[in-house]
Amino acid sequence: AQSVTQLDSHVSVSEGTPVLLRCNYSSSYSPSLFWYVQHPNKGLQLLLKYTSAATLVKGINGFEAEFKKSETSFHLTKPSAHMSDAAEYFCVVVYTGGFKTIFGAGTRLFVKA
Amino acid sequence: GAGVSQTPSNKVTEKGKYVELRCDPISGHTALYWYRQSLGQGPEFLIYFQGTGAADDSGLPNDRFFAVRPEGSVSTLKIQRTERGDSAVYLCASSPGGRGNTEAFFGQGTRLTVV
């Protein structure tokens, strides 16, 4: 079955330290992969997407993610966390030829001063 | 409009009642999605429209749920005989493309509470 797993429900970092949010997807044909962010009382916003071009994808606000086919992973990283990064992050997969978007359960990022 | 608009923003209804949730996508977007997000979970796919037709409705949980998009723009999600378990935030998204590899733009959602 098609699925996406976000390995951490909560991640807590100090401001200025690196962020790593982990995502694994079930192996299938080459998927399209996305990271979305959801701030409280705001709609979901696209951070970045992978659609079979470069495996290292740069997004907004300094985030980037690397597609690793051998590991079926698409982890989200940022070198230095800001307080404004505190939010819920969702990894999303769409399998080639399909329309159905599959969301992970989400990772809540806390940033400490 | 500038973004995806969903109305109402909040809806409280009694168990057994019928509700309609409306989504106004971004003008010109041919693709439209509905999702349901329960507390503490990620959005769950319900249905996808390409134009007027439902290209994939495999996520609708049962026959109490139905969605239409008669003119290829505004969509309405209809829930009959509501149950307390239907309480959730219902999200709508639209995208310009016909495939899932294009960015989807989300509305703020409708929070449905069934009492």
Per residue in A48-88, pLDDT (tens digit) is: 998 777 889 999 999 999 999 889 999 999 999 999 999 99
Residue A36: its pLDDT value, please? 95
Q: What is the mean pLDDT of residues B12-25?
A: 98
Is some CB atom of chain B closer than 8 A to the CB atom of A94? Answer: yes
Would you state the pLDDT for residue A1? Answer: 65
Q: What is the mean pLDDT of chain B?
A: 92
DSSP string computed for chain A = ---EEES-SEEEEETTS-EEE-EEE---SPEEEEEEEE-TTS--EEEEEESSS-SEEE-GGG-EEEEEGGGTEEEEEESS--GGG-EEEEEEEEETT---EEE---EEEEEE-
The better pLDDT of the pair B27, A97 is held by B27
The answer to which of A67-71, A100-104, A105-109 has the lowest mean pLDDT is: A100-104
Q: What percentage of chain B has pLDDT greater than the value 90?
A: 80
Contact between residue B38 and residue B44 where contact means Cβ atoms under 8 Å apart = yes
B37 pLDDT higher than 90:
yes
Interface of A with B in 23-52 (CB under 8 A): 32, 34, 36, 42-46, 49, 51
- Chain A contact set for B42 (CB, 8 A): 90, 103-106
With CB atoms and an 8 Å threshold, state whether B101 touches A103.
Answer: no
Distance from the B54 Cα atom to the nearest Cα atom in chain A, whole angstroms = 11
CA angle A17, A25, A103 (to 5 degrees): 80
Q: Give A40's pLDDT tier (boundaries 50, 70, 90).
A: confident
Q: Which residue has the higher pLDDT, A30 or B37?
A: B37
Number of residue pairs across A and B with CB atoms under 8 Å? 59
Environment class of B21 (CB within 10 Å of its CB; exposed 0-12, middle 13-18, buried 19+): buried
User: Residues A93-110: what's their mean pLDDT?
Assistant: 84
- Which of chain B's residues have a Cβ under 8 Å away from the Cβ of A103? 35, 42-45
CB A11 within 8 A of CB A79: no
Q: With the C-alpha atoms ordered B52, B35, B74, A37, is the resulting torsion angle positive or negative?
A: negative
Task: Please give, rounded to a whole number of angstroms, the shortest distance from the CA of B92 to a CA of chain A.
Answer: 10
The distance of B15 to chain A (nearest Cα, Å) reads 26
The DSSP 8-state label assigned to residue B84 in this structure reads G
- pLDDT greater at residue A99 or residue B56: B56
Where is B106: in which H helix or E strand? Answer: strand B105-106
pLDDT at position A97 is 63
pLDDT of residue A86: 96
Chain A contact present for B25, CB below 8 A: no
* Conformational region of residue A70, where left means phi above 0, alpha means psi within -120 to 50, and beta covers everything else: alpha
pLDDT of residue B99: 60
B108 contacts A42? CB cut-off 8 A: yes
Query: A81: distance to nearest CA of chain B, Å?
Result: 23
Q: Is the pLDDT of residue B31 over 60?
A: yes
Q: Please indicate if any CB of chain A lies within 8 Å of the CB of B4.
A: yes
| CA-closest candidate to residue A110, choices A17, A14, A43 | A14
The stretch B66-88 carries a mean pLDDT of 96
